[in-house]
Structure 1
């Protein structure tokens, strides 16, 4: 009986792997809301999870907001308490689909794909369409995407006192190696 259970678990685990999901738990997200001539408003999160179903081309990402790190501790505090309200909205979630994706077409030369999806942040959901570069290397599938979001689309208010120092239009950069 134990052998049957062990064999069943082994077959089930192979079936799950065969579903074509590749993952990164250490993807890198950088966001920047800097304004020229003022202090850099930039943060990095190196613990973002990205999952890609290679059979359906569905992609999802999860970023814990308190994991973003700034050069200036006070900016990080304001980001979490006043802007993102990390205790109330602890994560950002992206769910989408990669148009025309075929994992077998990937090579070491980066190929462009369009990703369409929704970004959920600060209690709001906004449609995102971006170009992603993908390639296949010995370490996995490399993914790089850059896009812009408006803080105001997520009801994130920038106080008048710093409105000239913090951009409403925020640059987002994602880099991941999926295995």
Structure 2
């Protein structure tokens, strides 16, 4: 009987430790750098995100070559000329969701300040945004929007196309973590 109780306690403690992190490997990230002259928009649905539910630490990763454009030539230019995806294959965000209380989440989205380091194209930048977080049927949904400049990450825009690419790029992330 003592062995059974001990085994149940070990299983329960292991299960509670496993609940300290929620994650997804099917997160959606969209970036838009459109202007009146041209639509420049791409999406990936294979971004990874993990959140520590006890302290609000968050880490996200997207592979550059996973972004899809409407026009294949844009995708090629994005990977070869701008992002240099072979040299800098991923973009990451590591930070913290301030005052995060996983147990207090409900079906209504709550606003949380999210601060961290965005790394892309071999450069890093501190970013702060508001994340909308709520419980959904499939887990915990996190939505956030970052606004960045290509120049912040050493991404050179040739003068020939500079009017076709927005000076500020909007990056929208949507994750359902389990």
The TM-score normalised by the length of structure 1 is 0.90
User: Cα distance, 1:13 vs. partner?
Assistant: 5.7
Name the CA distance, whole Å, in 2 between partners of 1:168 and 1:84.
16
**1:130 aligns to 2:123 (yes or no):** no
8 Å CA contact retained: 1:132, 1:144: yes
Structure-1 residue corresponding to 2:24: 24
Q: How many residues align?
A: 169
Alpha-carbon shift at residue 154 of structure 1 (Å): 0.2
Structure 1 stretches of at least 4 aligned residues deviating more than 6 Å after TM superposition: none
Gapped runs of 5+ residues in structure 1?
1-6
Following superposition, the deviation at residue 168 of structure 1 comes to: 2.4
Q: Which residue of 2 aligns with 1:165?
A: 164
Gaps of 5+ in 2: 1-6
- Structure 2 CA distance for aligned equivalents of residues 69 and 134 of structure 1: 26
Query: C-alpha deviations, 1:124-176, integer Å up to 9, x for none?
Result: 01001000100012210011001200000000000000001011210000001
Q: Distance in 2 between matches of 1:178 and 1:116?
A: 19
Looking at structure 2, the residues matched to 73 and 137 of structure 1 have their Cα atoms a distance apart, in angstroms, of 34
Contact kept in structure 2, 1:158 and 1:168, CA below 8 Å: no
Aligned position for 1:141: 140
Give the Cα separation in 2 of the matches to 1:135 and 1:115.
Answer: 15
- State the TM-score, normalized to the length of structure 2: 0.91
Q: Secondary structure at the match of 2:84?
A: coil
Contact 1:28 1:176 in 2 (8 A): yes
Deviation digits for residues 49-88 of structure 1 (CA, Å, limit 9, x no counterpart): 0000001110000000000000000000000000000000
Alignment deviations for residues 94-136 of structure 1 (CA, whole Å, 9 cap, x no partner): 0000011000110000000000000010000100100010001
Counterpart check, 1:111 vs 2:110: yes
How far apart are the structure 1 equivalents of 2:130 and 2:50? 17
